[in-house]
A and B are shown apart, each in its own frame.
Chain A
Amino acid sequence: MRFIALALAVFSVPLVAGCGLRPGYPPNPMLRPTAVTDFATLYNQNCAACHGQNGQNGPSIDLANPEYQALVDDATLRKWISGGMPGTEMPAFAQSAGGMLTSAQVDALIAGMRRNWQRPNAFDGVSPPPYAQAAVGDPVRGQSTYQARCAQCHEPTRDSANQQITSPRYLALVGDQALRTIIIAGRPDIGQPDWRHDSPGGQAAAPLSVVDVDNIVAYLASLRNLGQPAPASTASSHTTPAGR
């Protein structure tokens, strides 16, 4: 009898408590995957693997960098997210390009990045070199600028020559635009300074000029073409289908 009483007591607890506390109350009906527009969910499902949790410390560019957010406009972001970024590993995410995201979801991602990571006056009033390259750079001048401003940190050692940014292997996977973006906006999460501090020791010397940036990119691009797998940079975007 005591057992029954105990069982009844156990059973009545939820009935009594059930008025306010309902731990078992089911979650809302599951949305269609295309109806999800919550930024955190979308970012964590689609972007976090390469761009890192919270937009930093990933292998790819840190989207949480306010300078990056200030540098790139919405249309460009939409273009890269939707169709992928040529010359890099950034894949296409829009349904129109064979991905899984609707255009509303792409917009939600952009709006979410702006909301979370954009800071007013990210450049302290200084105007940076434009995001898109306007003029053709000079690789020879670029080399000397590189030696003066970049080489101290990016000096290939004996062990890491193949792994440095001057190696064609690296450059084959990173397009000109991506190089340019990193030179200008830097990557604060891994200690890469922005264009104002691109100098030995990362000290605030004279910022790189627009022409300097053009030239350095042109120099690196010329190194890319020296490498043996010359056309390899685009191989991933239109891979020949695998057969057996």
Chain B
Amino acid sequence: MSHEEKPMEADPNQSVKAHNESGADSLNMQRVVSRRWMLFKAAAAFNGLVGLALAIPIVRYLLAPWRKDASYKSWVSLGPAESFPTGETRLAVFKNPSKRSWDGATDNVACYVRRTGTDQFSVFAINCAHLGCPVRWFPQSQLFMCPCHGGVYYADGSRASGPPERGLFTYDWQVVSGELHIDAGQMPTLSNTAKLVKISHGEGETSCG
């Protein structure tokens, strides 16, 4: 084995010898002064204990963002319901409820509000159900198109073509004293809604975070 470890020595035999000697020495040392070794082991174990004690808070700190979806969500106003004309789909922008002062413009979140009746809304996430790219609404052809991989959705959010497995993500909504509120705060992805997804031609009716 020492050949492997030190193949470049000019004289391999010599190195083998040296290696063996030093190994023997350390063995002798261990036998002779076993008290030192015991103290060493105790100190190492102590360090291990301290490390473990510190590891728990560190891991807890690292996992801090890992929370239940619901804890990130809250009801956000999109403004007066009257600002969304009936029969049309409009882009709406709201502030992420868990925003921080250094978020800059990234605290904006966009969504599409489709008003189908006096008190009938659908609120779609901007994120394509495929890989989260921002879909764009085309009122002329009544389609949502995704610029990344060509996912296309009909006006009701259901999948029209392309790689997405399902329709657009939707937000739960309610009208409170004339204002449209949605339950939002989390980037919608497949995992938030996985249990509700219908793989074949999703209808885009599941809620998301």
Contact = CB atoms under 8 A, between A and B. Distances in A.
In the complex they form, whether A and B have CB atoms below 8 Å apart is answered with yes
Interface of A: 89, 91-92, 98, 236, 238-239, 241-244
Given A98-B89, A244-B154, 4 more contacts: A239-B142, A242-B142, A242-B156, A243-B156
Interface string B77-91: 000000000011110
B155 A242 contact: yes
22 contacts: A89-B140, A91-B139, A92-B139, A98-B89, A98-B90, A98-B137, A236-B140, A239-B142, A241-B142, A241-B154, A241-B155, A242-B142, A242-B143, A242-B155, A242-B156, A243-B154, A243-B156, A243-B158, A244-B154, A244-B158, A244-B201, A244-B203
A244 B116 CA distance: 16
A190 B152 CA distance: 36
B204 to A, nearest CB: 10
Interface residues of B, number: 17
Contact of A98 (B88, B116, B154, B201): B88
A91 B140 CA distance: 7
Contacts of A89: 140
Contacts of B116: 241
Interface in B117-142: 137, 139-140, 142
A17 B140 CA distance: 52
Contacts of B139: 91-92, 98
Interface in B86-113: 87-90
A238 B154 contact: no
Interface string B173-200: 0000000000000000000000000000
B127 to A, nearest CB: 19
Nearest to A92: B139
A78 B107 CA distance: 33
